[in-house]
Amino acid sequence: MTKRVTYLDNAATTPVRPEVLEAMLPYLGSEAFGNPSSAHRFGRAARAGIEEAKRAVAAAVGAEPNQVVFTSGGTEADNLAIIGAALAAKDRGRPFRVAVTATEHKAALAAAHAVTHLGGEEIILPVTASGQVENEALETALKTGVAIVSVMWVNNEVGTRQPVAAIAARCSDAGVPFHSDAVQAFGKLPVSLRDVNCSLLTISGHKVGAPKGVGALIVRDRNAVEAIIHGGGQQYGIRPGTENVPGIIGLGVAARLAVEEQQALAARLSALRDELERRLLALVPDAVIHGWQGERAPHISNASIPGTDSEALLMHLDLAGIACSSGSACSTGAIEPSHVLTAMGVPRDLGVAALRFSFGKDSSLEDVEAVAAALPKIVEKVRSLSAVLHR
């Protein structure tokens, strides 16, 4: 009998949905394998699929089809938004500075830092203990002049929701393009550009049941960005290169399903997250839930267990058939706390003891019960080992 595996790492990736795979298959076979830039029937079939997917993605986020630029994923979309906006501003003689929060995904932070290598500046906006951007720092950045402000809709590690509508409105008043990485928000929260005045928006396929290697940047003003890779004229020249047709088809289907199911899914995942945290605190009373003070997305819970380290916890959880992730990273042989938790003011000893549990479409109460059943013995074992090592 195969041992049941509890998968609670949906913020990292999700399995490809059967409906998505079925829609992709014709574009991997002889029916529509052509280059979408070709004029013959095979190319036209591929182009028609892309256009349909473009309409689906646009409808899902409240945009226009001609505003959808397909990318290889969230990382590329973030880089295109931030570096592309900085280059566009420089060409117009505007400030060559970008502002991002300290808790952004590393793709956005790295893109902001890359601007400094091009002669620009990066401004790192501090956050509160709950992970929301400090308003005073944002105001200062806007007054000094920036090419773009980038604030992620939902944090990928702790689930903190940013007040993106208010931030977008403030940036619009200041005449500054606003970009939001909505990779973790899309499909879990209502994400509509009819309600939030983003200039640029990032989504990623593999967080919502599409394959890895495809995403999109919604570009509402083509003058707001310049291409960062160069080639042919595909996608208005903003993102040239032959399109990943099967991946794009998958993203279109996944986006449509994500919107259709969002409300019901959010309610179910929120209940699972709350139940997990309730049981965790009952079993490990000194555990600390991060970001609970502010608004959070429904699918992410980040908790530190004092007296442990996340890598040891992960190893034992994996042996118990439970897949989750840590908020720390191994650097030069030492465990370091997540940059997100550090920016939120979490002490180092708690930062290195953080676990992220993230729920998805296939998650159930049985997954919560599996964690609750395994955790007490695992915590006891890791704490005992840690006590011996630190004598």
pLDDT of residue 385: 79
pLDDT of residue 134: 97
Residue 88 CA to residue 66 CA, distance in Å, equals 19
Instruction: Mark residue 307 as left, alpha or beta (left: phi above 0; alpha: psi -120 to 50; beta: remaining).
Output: left
Phi and psi at residue 277, to the nearest 5°: -65, -40
Cα torsion through 183, 132, 147, 170, rounded to 10: 110
What mean pLDDT is predicted for residues 327-345?
A: 74
Residue 72 in contact with residue 216, Cβ under 8 Å? Answer: no
pLDDT of residue 30: 86
User: Any idea which fold 18-258 has?
Assistant: Aspartate Aminotransferase; domain 2 (3.40.640)
pLDDT of residue 363: 98
Candidates 171, 198, 324, 330; catalytic one: 330
Candidates 208, 210, 182, 195; CA nearest to 77 is 182
What mean pLDDT is predicted for residues 49-67?
A: 98
pLDDT of residue 226: 96
Has residue 63 got a pLDDT over 90?
A: yes
* CATH number of this structure's domain 6-12+262-389: 3.90.1150.10
Residue 358 CA to residue 70 CA, distance in Å, equals 26
Q: What is the mean pLDDT of the chain?
A: 94
Residue 330 is a catalytic residue: yes
pTM: 0.95
pLDDT of residue 330: 41
Has residue 204 got a pLDDT over 50?
A: yes
Residue 77 CA to residue 201 CA, distance in Å, equals 8
CA 346, distance to chain mean position in Å, is 21
pLDDT in tens, 132-168: 999 999 999 999 999 999 999 999 999 999 999 999 9
Has residue 43 got a pLDDT over 80?
A: yes
Q: Where are the domains of the chain?
A: 6-12+262-389, 18-258
What mean pLDDT is predicted for residues 314-325?
A: 96
pLDDT in tens, 221-268: 999 999 999 998 899 999 999 999 999 999 999 999 999 999 999 999
